[in-house]
Structure 1
Amino acid sequence: MTRIIACALATLAPLPALALSCLPHSVEATYQRAAKAEESYVVVQGRLTFDASALPKGGTIGINPPEETPIRAQISGKALSEGGFDVPFDQPLTLNVQCFGPWCGSAEEGDVLAFLERKPDGAYALESNPCGGDLFGSPKPAMVDKVIACFQGAECTPVR
């Protein structure tokens, strides 16, 4: 009888919660990944604009949003060079919001620090995923300074 009760209770117990495990999202780690990539990247500090209603909504167990949602966007600001963020930059881009199962990347209009991939055709793309991707919203001055330091060859070890 005890076994029957134990089995019955086990079937009523909640299933383990699914969890998404990400490495810490840091400008140092993103900078290093972009620097090592075969693709070409431009780092821009500026204002991102897009239609926020096009962002995917996170799913629920068994109902997942699309794996990728491309959204037309615009970024206006300054690109990184040897002198810091001092090169005027105003370009359209594709904001590619990715979902891993029910978890989706996010983005907000406003001030950003963005690692833009420059495609072979000259177009720009920006990836946001549930673990952060290449986008940092409302960057703090220390983040901006760190990216400049990384670009200039200073210590660029990701924070763990």
Structure 2
Amino acid sequence: MIRILAFLVAICAPWPALALSCAEPSIARGFHAASAAPQTFVVVRGQLSFDEGELPKGMTDPAPPKQTEIPARITGKSLSMAGFIHHFDREITLEVLCFGPWCGGAVDGMDVLAFVEKADGRYTMSIDPCGGFVFPNPSPDQISIIQQCFRGESCPLD
């Protein structure tokens, strides 16, 4: 009996090492990271539209691509000093990143708060298995925090 128990412990011990560990998503951390990055970002709150069939398969594919680019659209408002007041309705590239078998994910029609990269007149929204710069179904607190950060007010890192 002890041998069986020892065997089960031995074969199960490596499983935690295979898990992906992500920090809890934070709007303030995202703001600080985007502000420190050399890229230009637009903060957008809106509805994401795309073909979910284009998403990488992740855990069901033994070797998903590291990056998948999907045509998408985001319709909503972009952030300014006065709040989310500027109409934003643009075709974007949804860049889905995979870390090993774990891939970022999204749902067609979901409400997002996102840091959308703007380069050469094109917009890209990146999402990784830990969320990246995309926050689904933002809460009123998250909206308030990003507005404070954007205005240069209190922007605590948690």
Deviations 1:102-134 (A, max 9, x none): 111111222110100001x11000000011111
C-alpha deviation, 1:155, in angstroms:
1.4
1:82 partnered with 2:81 = yes
Determine the structure 1 residue equivalent to 2:101. 102
Corresponding residue number in structure 1 for 2:157: 158
Deviations 1:65-102 (A, max 9, x none): 11111100001111000100001111110000101001
Using the TM superposition, give the Cα deviation of residue 64 of structure 1 relative to its aligned residue in structure 2, in angstroms: 2.2
Q: Partner letter of residue 122 of structure 2?
A: A
Deviation at 1:56, TM superposition (A): 1.1
Identity among equivalent pairs (%): 44
TM-score normalised to the size of structure 1?
Answer: 0.87
Give the paired residue count. 152
* Alpha-carbon displacement from aligned partner over 1:33-74 (angstroms, at most 9, x marks no partner): 0111110000001111000111112236x9221111110000
Distance 2:152 2:102 in 1: 35
The alignment status of 1:112 with 2:146, answered yes or no, reads no
1:19-58 equivalences under 5 Å are 19-58=19-58
Gaps (5+ residues) in structure 2? Answer: none
Q: Aligned partners of 2:123, 2:107: CA distance in 1, in Å?
A: 18
Segments of 5+ residues of structure 1 without an aligned counterpart are none
SS at match of 1:74: strand
Separation in 2, partners of 1:69, 1:102: 13
Q: Distance in 1 between matches of 2:58 and 2:14?
A: 19
Runs of 4+ more than 3 Å apart: none
Structure with bigger gyration radius: 1
- Aligned ranges for residues 64-75 of structure 1 at < 5 Å? 64-75=63-74
C-alpha contact 1:108 1:137 (8 A) present in aligned 2: no
